[in-house]
Structure 1
């Protein structure tokens, strides 16, 4: 599988695209005025402890107070560690939140989820700092190995090396990342020494700096992309900014010199995202409907509570029978769903409504295809069996806003509903408002200002109804079109 990482830099925005076999799989965006804060470590102040929620709001210097749950304060050794988990899994607290925190208390916290919508950032005191091959867990003593490293001898080698190195640098806990597979002890030692230096700086700053200060800030998007996204099958990282290219070269020269030859400066006249068709893919990623090669299609609906994905056969008729047609469509849809989740960065609860299949083996194969396609996803996913209603429920870890919510805003005309009232509906609302206004206020004449489409309908199709209304009320009514009015907007003015 051929994979490339494209870095597009403009003065106020940086975008990183992961392209596999010519198809866009992931898109990461960082804008200068709104950088993500996941991974940042702050010296915060407890603003308010809420016993009923077993949580507290902590002021860290962001626009809104951040949220810290009691489960994210108490630490416990994990039963298993897998790639994507940055810290041991928490267990319920042994004591109430009031015994753990108090109002006004200073506390060192790390952001694990960006502010999303109206919700503030999510915090933890279980600090984790990633590097190329390791994740430092300063409050832990556990050394874990990514579950994606399957060779048992290699797992034992890595664990032995890191455990020995850790004992020389304070005995902290570490997660050994997938990228560490096959790396020599020297490379791991450099990574571990770097993380130790970073943690020493964080500790010193936590003592010296005032509250609401940032103690550690994660790398910028291009550097994070090189650190986290480069795998063995990534052939090139192409960058269209010389300044960013030089920063990446300096970064890899220090931390991962074997990757230096993969970093390439793109100097072509055509924009790099246009050359690879990324811009077109981004546009399609904002559509609700996703066409499949077979003629079927997906319909993706993102709501506040969950994301639903509906699979349809569309124009695909198949060659044998209905069951075979449905099965082939669902297999293709399973792969497309996995790609769309990565591309659109959809998270939380996801419900997939595959086309109904009678054959249990077909259902198993579709589920296996989905799980296999999700294996390359950097975010942690959990897929459940088909429900009695034929639905597949799954979860995907969400730390930042989806692509749609990063690039779009609710429609000003419909307010995000996805539909607007018809001109006919608005017409009858206007008639009712006229009657209400005349009964409440005394006026000889009335002026109605509305959108051009509504006014055109009233003066054309409803002209007789207007005449009847004028006779009934004994008032003169005039209509005025205004292009600035949305279809649902109107004003009734008394003259």
Structure 2
């Protein structure tokens, strides 16, 4: 029985999710929201809107209300001019105020190959390192190119060890697809979409479906039938265990994925031994700190540290994959005195990243005892997909202490008191801040400022926000407080006992 499962939660069109489990544990999650559907890979029959010789580019109309950017280097062989119709593919989706980037050099990825209809070259993925296997695949690639009408063919990493028959089957699937796209390009009127990628579930199956996948489970009947049709086309007669989930509880709850997914957003990750990781993100890199935590080991300190670091290496590889973290990663492992132990750690890192689809490079242990890793950034990380900057802290990850906010409030009230001769002031603040001021400072402030001060606990206020609601004669402020308490039964107004 193979130990990998692919679980697809596609009941809600607003958000589709696909999880990969290995030995029952979540190792990868793919999320796509309805308004964020991946446009990369889509093919359009476009119309050139304008040519910009100064930057060697053109704007092309895709028909979706927003011009895309086509570099002249990505349109070799085309004499670009306004109103020219051209078939292009999105290579970089539009972001914020930037339009999509497109190319006229179409590429169609399959399970084992990438077909380049406008290309002449053959190639083998650099991640296939065995030279004998590379020679075998290069030889097959030449045959594929001859069979494929002279189109360019690139062998993907997944083709390593795969029989020639399966590679030819993949080629024919891609040729059929290209013929369909070519037909649409002939009959449709520009600008328009002529090919949309196969969707989240299809992409995951195409890229992740290997011989060790034991089961595919889907909770939507419509997607279940789509997947079966897609697999019939690409699997060349091989049967896969594809099941429709019909349980009473949500599919991600049943497989324990929802609970594990929540931990993918946690800053602290506990290891089974009692040690833990701290994962922090900056604009430039991701930093991971390894700590022994509750783990004290069974022998001496040297082995405790080594065991903790080796366990951490395993979990770090899993977390980078699960969280889709790319770019630069710096890891502060627990200091090891012996070079032999450092080499064992680097060897373990090489092992755990060996099967990572997104190429990771390990740069050894620096003079400061840090391990640096770079990992290809292939898709948005889970944190950016599922979270946003905190509206209370502004994305810093921290807020001002109660004392700090209280001092801001006091300085504001002093400024108000100096500007007029009002008898009382009514202030609104976050409930925790209002309570802190009332319990710590309120009588002192009233005596110092020679003003009656009322503080409303405003539940809708951000942590650091406060506002002067009213000031003036004591009877007017008290009347305002009474009105508030009448309108909102649950409102809390803090005041000194002398009121």
TM-score range, shorter chain: 0.7 to 0.9
CA deviation after TM superposition for structure 1 residue 172, in Å: 1.8
Take 2:416 and 2:66, find their aligned partners in 1: how far apart are those partners?
Answer: 42
- How far apart in 2 are the matches of 1:57 and 1:436? 56
Written as runs of structure 1 = structure 2, the 5 A alignment for 1:135-214 is 135-147=114-126, 149=128, 154-181=133-160, 183-202=162-181, 213-214=192-193
Provide the aligned length of Structure 1 versus Structure 2. Answer: 467
SS in 2 for 1:11: coil
**Aligned partner of 1:489 among 449, 465, 478:** 465
1:470 has 2:449 as partner: yes
Is 1:414 matched up with 2:416?
Answer: no
Deviates more, 1:144-153 or 1:14-23: 144-153
- Per the alignment, residue 10 of structure 1 pairs with 11
Note closer, same or farther for the CA distance 1:23–1:119 as it changes in structure 2 (3 Å cut): farther
Taking the TM superposition and a 5 Å limit, the aligned residue runs for 1:49-64 are none
Paired residue for 2:455? Answer: 479
Matched, 1:221 2:223: no
Which is bigger in relative contact order (C-alpha 8 A, separation at least 6)?
Answer: 1
| RMSD, aligned α-carbons | 3.5
- Shift, 1:226, TM fit: 2.0
In structure 1, the partner of 2:486 is none
For the Cα contact (< 8 Å) 1:114–1:399, is it kept in 2?
Answer: no
Equivalent-residue separation in structure 1 for 2:359 and 2:62 (angstroms): 27
Contact kept? 1:114, 1:400, Cα under 8 Å: no
Q: Where does residue 359 of structure 1 map in the other structure?
A: 338
Kept in 2, the 8 Å contact 1:38–1:399? The answer is no
* Cα pair 2:446 2:452 within 8 Å, conserved: no
**Paired residues of 2:442 and 2:453 also in contact (CA < 8 A):** no
Alpha carbons of structure 1 residues 441 and 186: separation in structure 2 relative to 1, 3 Å: farther
Residue in structure 2 matched with residue 81 of structure 1 by the alignment: none
Distance 1:63 1:330 in 2: 52
CA distance in 1, matches of 2:108, 2:316: 31
Q: Secondary structure at the match of 2:240?
A: helix
Counterparts in 2 of 1:172 and 1:406: CA distance versus 1, 3 Å? same
- For 2:492, the equivalent position in structure 1 comes to none
Which of 32, 57, 71 is matched with 2:34 structurally?
32
**1:256-279 CA-partner distances (Å, limit 9, x unpaired):** 144433222333334332232111
- 1:112 and 1:269 map into 2 onto residues whose CA distance is 41
Q: Please state whether the residue corresponding to 1:466 is helix, strand or coil.
A: helix
Match of 2:232 among 253, 269, 272: 253
* CA positional deviation for 1:67: 6.8
Is 1:332 matched with 2:308? Answer: no
Unaligned runs of 5+ in 2: 472-499
Q: Find the aligned partners of 2:386 and 2:135 in 1 and give their Cα distance.
A: 45
Q: Based on CA coordinates, which of the two structures has the bigger radius of gyration?
A: 2
2:367 to 364, 388, 412: 388
